[in-house]
Amino acid sequence: MSTVKPRAERAAEARLAATRIEAEGVDGVIVGWVDNSGVTRVKTVPVRGLENAARWGLGASPCFDGFLVDDSLAPSAGPVGDLRLVPDLAALHRLAAQPGWAWAPGDRWTQQGDPHPGCQRQFARRATEALAERGLTVRAGIEVEWIVDGGEAGPAYGMRRLIGHSDYLRDLLRTLREQKLTVLQLHPEYSDGQFELSLAPGDPVEAADTAMLVRHTVQAVSLRHGLRASFAPVTAPNGVGNGGHLHLSLWRDGQNLGHGGSGPHGLTREAEAFLAGVLAELPALLALGAPSVASYLRLVPGHWSGPHRCWGLENREAALRLITGSAPEQANAEIKCFDAAANPYLAVGGVLAAGLAGLGAALRLPAETPGDPDGVAERLPAGLGQAADALRKSEVLRAAMGDPLWQSVLDVREAEIALFAELGPAEIIEAVRYRY
């Protein structure tokens, strides 16, 4: 069931990869993972250490599971023990905006060679495999939004803002192309200095990897242009937010199940059940997809952030926006309530698990919300505490995540709620502005 290869095979692959990237000028390899608070942490090895890293993994304390956004620790995180961080060479990329460096996402294993139960990336892979056992695949993509300091002022989606940042954005496109990532679209977003990138969809774990690689690339290219990019859920009180919208489509035997069925807007019964499962778990899923106290400064009506628990065809205020697209293969659903603070592996894994539960129970979608949901549909949790409570009560997510991961996420949520309890919106925003 596990797709992870034996040590000797990993080492042989790493030897080849290291020879290749060294010839291309790489000196160091970054192995990254995202913690429960949504922060990316890294270790690096010289390129000639890659083989050893792939064979044995790099030491990584389990206390990282209790790290908060400000680098303090949840009370449950202890100082004892060690894990092995193993680079996934299938996702190794040379970093075009950090010459001499390559990057690979890491999986975390125990010293005995078993999957670490708190590994978020392996949770996403397990959820993908559980769907595969039913003959189903998911294609996913995460939109990346960010705001740069001192960004050119001008109208939302405005040409003035694009002109002001032509060199920066061109550099970004070129860098992503050199890293072999397929950009679908790039545009100036709603607020000054805000941009959005969408990338070609892929396997769920690949989509989460891509979201991280794109974010790191945006950060690196921004610095080269004297800009600092923020992926915080909001960067100004009452401002528009940085979403991390998750698009997904469900497939069986090469057919998109979001098309040609007898359910609403052509959904097949399976796609409908999957989405109904997601809707049923959405309050709990927010503890994964909107993980910060700051997330709830974004999740308010009128910001296209999807703060209501409802769905609607092309409804940008609904948490679940159905998109039929112009061709059958384009049909997909967009979860809009997630933001850029989310650990994308937790978000993707949670959504797949909720969808799978919906399939198991053959759930049906409730009535569609065709217009503005405000005052009509149920509000999603208005604070992280409510979302964490929903996760605490979610048998579906608890079973899918396994108790160690589920508990460590809850510990981090509780500790961050306490951390920010005395702070107002402006102080919360300052505290997380450059953390994600």
Q: State the distance between the two ends of the chain, measured CA to CA, in whole angstroms.
A: 32
Q: Compare residues 87 and 244 and give the one whose CB is closer to ligand GLU.
A: 244
- Kindly indicate which of the ranges 28-36, 189-197, 286-294, 405-413 contains the residues binding ligand GLU, using the contact rule CB under 6 A: 189-197
Closest approach of Cβ 401 to Mg ion, in Å?
28
User: To which residue do tokens 């913690």 refer?
Assistant: 35
* Residue 57 interaction partner, one of ligand GLU, Mg ion, none, beta carbon < 5-8 Å per kind: none
Shortest Å distance, C-beta 305 to ligand GLU: 4
Number of residues that bind Mg ion (CB under 5 A): 1
* Torsion angle of the four alpha carbons 353, 355, 359, 365, in this order, in degrees rounded to the nearest 10: 150
If one asks whether residue 188 binds ligand GLU (CB under 6 A), the answer comes out as no
Kindly state the tokens that stand for 112: 């005995």
Quote the CA–CA distance of 203 and 205 in Å, as a whole number: 6
- The reply to whether 339 sits near Mg ion by the rule CB under 5 A is no
Q: Is 241 in the site for ligand GLU (CB under 6 A)?
A: yes
Judged by CB, which is closer to ligand GLU: 372, or 389? 372
The answer to whether residue 161 forms part of the interface with ligand GLU (CB under 6 A) is no
C-alpha–C-alpha distance, residues 164 and 154, integer Å: 9
Among 56, 251, 304, 434, binds ligand GLU (CB under 6 A): 304
Complex with ligand GLU: residue 151 or 243, whichever CB lies closer: 243
> Minimum Å distance from CB 10 to ligand GLU?
38
- Which CB, 198 or 343, lies closer to Mg ion? 198
Beta carbon of residue 243, minimum distance to ligand GLU (angstroms, whole number): 2
Q: 102 or 293, CB closer to ligand GLU?
A: 293
What phi, psi does 57 have (nearest 5°)?
A: 80, 165
Q: Is 344 in the site for ligand GLU (CB under 6 A)?
A: no
Partner whose binding site includes residue 434, from ligand GLU, Mg ion, none (CB under 5 to 8 Å by kind)? none
Q: Binding ligand GLU by CB under 6 A: which of 161, 259, 298, 435?
A: 298
Among 243, 289, 358, 381, which residue interacts with ligand GLU (rule: CB under 6 A)?
Answer: 243
Selected range binding ligand GLU among 3-11, 53-61, 206-214, 237-245, rule: CB under 6 A: 237-245
| Residue number with the smallest Cβ distance to ligand GLU | 243
Task: For residue 321, state whether it binds ligand GLU (rule: CB under 6 A).
Answer: no
Q: How far apart are CA 133 and CA 85, in angstroms?
A: 27
Using a 10 angstrom Cβ sphere, with 0-12 exposed, 13-18 middle and 19 or more buried, the burial of residue 392 is middle
Residue 316 binding: pick among Mg ion, ligand GLU, none (C-beta 5-8 Å cut-off by kind): ligand GLU
Smallest separation, CB 392 to ligand GLU (Å): 26
18 vs 140 by CB, closer to ligand GLU: 140
Q: Residue 298 binds what, of Mg ion, ligand GLU, none (CB under 5 to 8 Å, by partner type)?
A: ligand GLU
> Residue from 35, 65, 88, 145 that binds ligand GLU (CB under 6 A)?
145
Residues in the interface with ligand GLU (CB under 6 A) total: 13
Q: With binding defined as CB under 5 A, does residue 196 bind Mg ion? A: yes
Contact residues: Mg ion, CB under 5 A: 196
Residues that bind ligand GLU (CB under 6 A): 145, 189-190, 196, 240-241, 243, 298, 303-305, 316, 336
